Chain A
Amino acid sequence: MNGYFSFEKLKSILTYVENDPLIFSTSLFMILFAGVLLIYNLLHKNKNLRILFLIFFSLYFYYKSAGYYFGIIILSAFANYYIGKFIAATENFSIKRIWLWGGIALNVGLLSYFKYTNFLIQIYNDISNGTIEPLAIFLPIGISFYTFKSLSYIFDVYLDLMPTAKSLRDFSLYVFFFPNILAGPIDRAADFIPQIDNEPVISNEDLGRAVFLISLGLIKKVVIADYISLNFVDRIFDYPLRYTGMENLLALYGYTLQVYCDFSGYSDMAIGIALFMGFKLMDNFNSPFKATSVAEFWRRWHISLSKWLLDYLFKPMQFSLRQMQIFGNMISLTTTFLICGIWHGAGWNFIYWGLLHGIYMSVGILLQKPKTYIYKKLKIYNTPFLKFFQVLITFHLVVFSFLVFRTPDTQIIKDVMSQIYEFLHPEVFFQFVEEMPVVFALFVIGYLFHFLPTVVEKTTLKMVTWLPWIGKAVLLAAVIWIAAQFKSADIQPFIYFQF
């Protein structure tokens, strides 16, 4: 019966439900998190209990998203902690290297089994007309993130960049920590583990930043990303040939904004939630569409992943190919981005997307010197005029790459591009503005705020920090209320410009 309390109902809410992870923007998470914060603060004097409580809740959070596969994460943490110990226990580099490769094989093997087995079977079937049935493999959510977190730990211990974690307890908290277990940021053990010993004293600045980030994240994720995807983007990409080139183009810009708001919004919330408990996670996004080159885009987009790939994949590869100089860099870059694509998912679209970025970056290296020479000759080097066009071109290269990222079906890519080039109908833009004012307003708000100078964000953050705690609470409540309105809004009618 609806509205009637029963333990059965409570149990069904609190136990694992397939494909229904405990994401930050749900009311269940907000209620649970309020309780967790309360208990966590009551335990703040007892370090051991406080940490164990956080480990317990993190495991519950993961169980709620992955079911009994939380056993894998426990085994993974256990194995990686001891691999780190064995690496640090010897001065003999050959033995260190054996343990390192053992650790890589374990982590990559686990990730590959869950994530890529069926994709490999599909490729084999396609090549050899085989009929091998796909295996019934459940993909444990977040496995790409916690595997990379564990790998960074054993790499850093191997390179002597950090001491081993003092205990299995501390290492487990690093791996399980619920704010970033499902979708990053892929924090470094060297930054996270030393924070475990600190008493969770939250300064007013941290509290202000936490409220600011959670509010911003909710607006990005629920208000912008979810709304424009449901009401506009998805419908166009489902049947691109039913719409004009203008609608397809707008859907492309919309999808780019959606991906950014979805992912950076989640990261903002994760960083804010961690701050509430006294932990500082690394930044993950820094206005990526302001980049003047694809290389700069990757210094601003999913920073924790791109830095991971740079430190542990690109640099060792680049070093071993150093005699090949510029071509060594190009091979290393293309391979790194290919792996970056594969990391995102088992599908050709991710592989093409990664390769495309590898090609962008490699061409960028080849053109760097002649471009600088021409810019200096034309006296436009380092001018706002040049920067404007660099941002514009980089943005469109990224937008195109997201079309590849979005769809596993290459026919859809062809359809979208052919509609844009052969059937643009620019006048449809005015119809779009008139008929879909909310979607249009969200486009404007999303992009306008993105391109505002950094000082605006800093000033807003200062203002939120300056607010008394009651003001911060009211602000957060208001944002949650706005997000709830958008979440419950019906899907907007979308028939006016179909033919």
Chain B
Amino acid sequence: MISKELKSVILDVLHLDDFDLHDETIAPDVPGWDSLTHINIILAVEKKFSIKFKSYEVLRLKNVGDLQKLVDLKLAK
């Protein structure tokens, strides 16, 4: 389940008013989420939740659900 906060960060970076984000949603499904905007999303998520990702953690993400799990894991630490 994608949290409201994570959803709002992603939509904000992509300048989208609304978009239904599920656990299985992948970047190409979302308008404007390409390899260049991806890094802006990662940066914005790091800033919003005051967390730091590692390279391999980000590279292994398959979908939005994985990103949510990673954020939850970082916040629980």
A393 to chain B, nearest CB (A): 20
A52 to chain B, nearest CB (A): 34
- A325 touching B59 in the complex, CB below 8 Å, given contacts A314-B35, A315-B35: no
What total of chain B residues lie within 8 Å of the partner, measured CB to CB? Answer: 13
- Does residue B39 face the partner (Cβ distance < 8 Å to A)? yes
Cβ contacts A363-397/B at 8 Å (1 or 0 each): 00100000000000000000000000000000000
CB of B35 within 8 A of CB of A160, answer no
B64 to chain A, nearest CB (A): 17
Interface members, chain A 292-331 (any B CB < 8 Å): 310-311, 314-316, 318-320, 322-323, 325, 328-329
Identify whether the interface residues of A are mostly helix, strand, loop, or mixed: helix
Interface members, chain B 18-77 (any A CB < 8 Å): 35-36, 38-40, 42-43, 55-56, 58-60, 62
Interface members, chain A 138-188 (any B CB < 8 Å): 158-161
Residues of A within 8 A of B38 (CB): 315
| Residue ID in chain A nearest B34 by CB atoms | A295
CB of B60 within 8 A of CB of A319, answer no
CB of A319 within 8 A of CB of B36, answer no
CB of A160 within 8 A of CB of B60, answer yes
**Contact for A328 among B39, B55, B59, B60, CB less than 8 A:** B39
| Residue ID in chain A nearest B35 by CB atoms | A310
Interface footprint category on A: 10 to 19
> How many Å lie between the Cα of A134 and that of B40 in the bound state?
47
**Contact for A318 among B39, B56, B60, B62, CB less than 8 A:** B39
B43 to chain A, nearest CB (A): 5
- Does residue A93 face the partner (Cβ distance < 8 Å to B)? yes
CB of A161 within 8 A of CB of B60, answer yes
The 10 A-B pairs at the shortest CB distance, nearest first, are namely A159-B60, A319-B55, A318-B39, A322-B39, A159-B59, A322-B43, A160-B60, A316-B55, A329-B36, A319-B58
Interface of A with B (CB < 8 Å)? 93, 158-161, 310-311, 314-316, 318-320, 322-323, 325, 328-329, 365
Interface of B with A (CB < 8 Å)? 35-36, 38-40, 42-43, 55-56, 58-60, 62
**In the complex, given contacts A93-B56, A159-B59, what are 20 additional A-B residue pairs having Cβ atoms less than 8 angstroms apart?**
A158-B56, A159-B56, A159-B60, A160-B60, A161-B60, A310-B35, A315-B35, A315-B38, A315-B58, A316-B59, A318-B35, A318-B39, A319-B42, A319-B55, A319-B58, A322-B39, A323-B43, A325-B40, A325-B43, A365-B36
Q: List 12 A-B residue pairs with CB atoms under 8 Å apart, sorted by A's residue number.
A: A93-B56, A159-B60, A161-B60, A315-B58, A318-B39, A319-B39, A319-B55, A319-B59, A320-B55, A325-B40, A325-B43, A329-B39
